[in-house]
């Protein structure tokens, strides 16, 4: 929805002559009010083309989506380590959706612009010896719950440690071509459990579309997480998300990409960091070549000079996710 405001601009001279009056200027102001709402009870926990949509929206819609923490309500702020051990892993991740976006067809790209993210009132994090980056190398286990201080935008990890909140959605994904019910743990070409803390408010995520309507699902919401998510959990929480969904017909990507006003990023998943990093680099070379008319060699060199490879996550077996960021400021308009 867009509101048009008519602004009349007048130029005042410093002399005695009467200033000429300019023509009225039309300014377009974006209205971020959600047009559709999808509640957290409209959920599932697999990726498949066979899961029916819970909401159908036109291209360009702004949608308000409520998500549950990853266990789908199995834990609460009073839960203990014993409760954490009893979590039914077959119910993870609880995702809200799918959302059918009209006009989206295989080969298109779905743009998911993240307009707002509001975490719930509490969160949790937990770890065990059989999960996480150091699985098999560490016997440590633990579980913590936290009230989220949204007024001050912090979570208190301990008496001496205060962490700023940086909410994001761990899972942003569309349906794959298969009607098999795929577990949500590893990231794939359809996005899914990317666990990239850079995908926060102000970011536009691009997802390749594999089925009609895209069938977008959101979830695994986090109040804050470091790059890597090494114990396998972040500060897991409920979330209210507001996203704008747009279908792009003239963009082709193999795996998710994203951007802000300041940088462009490619992602690559793989069974090793090397494989994921190589894919992220190759996708950035392709982006630079197509977008700026650069040769492959120049794009490759530029990636070496200003490209930043970042490990998004290392725990969502069997895949890891690596991204490459390129600042936009180096390109003259």
pLDDT per residue over 264-274, tens digit each? 999 999 999 99
Query: What are the domain boundaries of the chain?
Result: 33-258
Summarised one tens digit per residue, pLDDT across range 227-247 is: 999 999 999 999 999 999 999
Please state, in angstroms and as integers, the Cα–Cα distance from residue 226 to each residue in 94, 247, 314, following that order: 21, 31, 11
- Is omega for the bond preceding 93 within 30 degrees of 0, making it cis? yes
Say what the pLDDT of residue 30 is: 62
Q: pLDDT tens across 38-96, in order?
A: 999 999 999 999 999 999 999 999 999 999 999 999 999 999 999 999 999 999 999 99
> What pLDDT is attached to residue 5?
36
Q: What is the mean pLDDT of residues 282-303?
A: 98
Does residue 24 have a pLDDT over 90?
no
Give the bridge partners for 263, in sequence order. Answer: 327
CATH architecture for segment(s) 33-258? Sandwich (2.60)
Predicted local distance difference test score (pLDDT) of residue 332 = 85
Q: Which residue has the tokens 């949509």?
A: 53
pTM exceeds cut of 0.95: no
> Residue 4: its pLDDT value, please?
37
CA distances from 193 to 40, 76, 133 (A): 18, 22, 16
CB atoms within 10 A of CB 226: 12
What contacts 225, CB < 8 A, 6 or more positions away?
166, 168, 170, 195, 197, 234, 235
Residue % of the chain over a pLDDT of 70: 91
- 304 φ/ψ angles, rounded to the nearest 5 degrees: -70, -30
| 258 and 208 Cβ atoms separated by less than 8 Å | no
Closest CA to 53 of 215, 208, 251, 185: 215
């Amino acid at each position: 929805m867009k509101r048009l405001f008519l602004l009349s601009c007048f130029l005042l001279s410093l002399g005695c002559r009467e200033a000429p009056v300019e023509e009225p200027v039309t300014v377009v102001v974006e209205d971020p009010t959600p047009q559709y709402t999808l509640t957290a009870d409209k959920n599932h926990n697999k990726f498949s083309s066979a899961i029916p949509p819970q909401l159908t929206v036109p291209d360009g819609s702004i949608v308000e989506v409520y998500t549950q923490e990853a266990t789908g309500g199995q834990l609460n702020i009073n839960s203990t380590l014993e409760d954490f051990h009893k979590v039914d892993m077959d119910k993870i991740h609880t995702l809200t959706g799918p959302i059918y976006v009209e006009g989206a067809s295989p080969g298109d790209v779905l743009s998911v612009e993240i307009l707002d993210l509001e975490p719930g009132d509490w969160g949790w994090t937990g770890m065990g010896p059989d999960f996480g980056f150091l699985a098999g190398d560490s016997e440590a286990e633990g579980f913590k719950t936290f009230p989220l201080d949204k007024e001050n935008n912090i979570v208190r990890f301990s008496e001496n440690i205060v962490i700023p909140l940086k909410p994001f959605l761990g899972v942003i994904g569309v349906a794959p071509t298969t009607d098999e019910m795929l577990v949500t743990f590893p990231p794939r070409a359809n996005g899914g459990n990317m666990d990239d803390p850079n995908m926060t408010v102000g970011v536009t995520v691009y997802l390749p579309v594999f089925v009609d309507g895209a069938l977008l699902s959101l979830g695994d919401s986090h109040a804050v997480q470091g790059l890597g998510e090494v114990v396998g959990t972040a500060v897991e929480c409920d979330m209210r998300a507001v996203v704008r969904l747009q279908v792009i017909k003239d963009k082709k990507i193999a795996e998710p990409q994203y951007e802000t006003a300041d940088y462009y990023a490619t992602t690559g998943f793989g069974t090793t960091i090397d494989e994921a990093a190589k894919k992220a680099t190759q996708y950035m070379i392709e982006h630079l070549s197509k977008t700026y008319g650069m040769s492959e060699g120049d794009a490759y060199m530029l990636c070496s000079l200003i490209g930043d490879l970042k490990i998004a996550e290392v725990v969502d077996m069997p895949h890891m996710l690596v991204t490459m960021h390129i600042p936009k400021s180096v390109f003259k308009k």
